[in-house]
Structure formats: structure tokens, C-alpha cells
Amino acid sequence: MRVPETYYDEIFDFKGQWDMPSRCGLKIIQGEQIIVIVTELYQDNPGTSVTAAGKILAEQICRNKGLNLNEIMYLECSPNTGSKLSFYDEEFFEVDFSGEPSYRQLAADEIRRFLQVSTSKKNSFCAHFRRE
């Protein structure tokens, strides 16, 4: 159950819960608004999941990349791994850290708008993340 590399530009190592060494896929899209996408790596992540790490992961990314947490759009991606199990289907969530973290699942049209991609419903969005 490998995550396709098209979901991320780099592997980001971070300290998860209890300083557990952890990893996620990371893609930063610079535009009118900076969009930070963290991708769960499943079997390639030895530690804390991106959802469980939440704000501590977002803060580590911002500190490492020189970003301001209050000025980014932070998205969590559960990638399509090609599994027949529906809980491994591709999903994107916008996370708001302004208080207690709140998660909002993004609809396909929102993902297209945020990521400025066009795709058919049959394709996953990761194919459109490739850098030109």
C-alpha cells in the first residue's frame, strides 16, 4: 500500500506525539495564498499520523519553511492507494487551527478551485500535482 509520489514534492520528517520520529508527504503551492498539503504515508510513516499530529506538524512545517501558520491554507490528504477498502479512498480536508482544530472535508469542485486543476471524476487529483 504505497502512496504514489505524485502526491508530494518531498518527504517531511517531523516529531510526532511524544517526539516520535514521523514522516509525511509535503507539497507547498505558492500562489495568491500559500497552500500546504500534508499527505499521510501509511506504511512509510513509522510514527504519528498527520491527523493525530495536527497543529504540532503544521507548526514544524511553518518553522522549517519560514511560513506563518496564520497565513496559509492547510490541507490534509488521505491519498488514493488503489485499495478496494473505501477508507483508503482519496480525501482532502481543510484544517483550521484558529481555535481547537476543525476539519472540513473538501468537495471535488473545491479541490479543483484551490489547486487550480481540472480532472474527471474517475481520476485522482494527484496526477495534476506534477510540477511542470
pLDDT digits (tens, 9 = 90+) for 21-72: 999 999 999 888 899 999 999 989 999 999 999 999 999 999 999 999 999 9
For residues 112 and 108, give the distance between their C-alpha atoms in angstroms, rounded to a whole number. 6
Instruction: Tell whether pTM > 0.85.
Output: no
Q: What integer best gives the mean pLDDT of the chain? A: 84
Q: How far is CA 69 from CA 58, 62, 65, 99, 109, in A?
A: 7, 6, 11, 12, 25
- Bigger pLDDT: 13 or 80? 13
Number of structural domains in the chain: 1
pLDDT at 83 over 90: no
Domain span holding position 20: 5-128
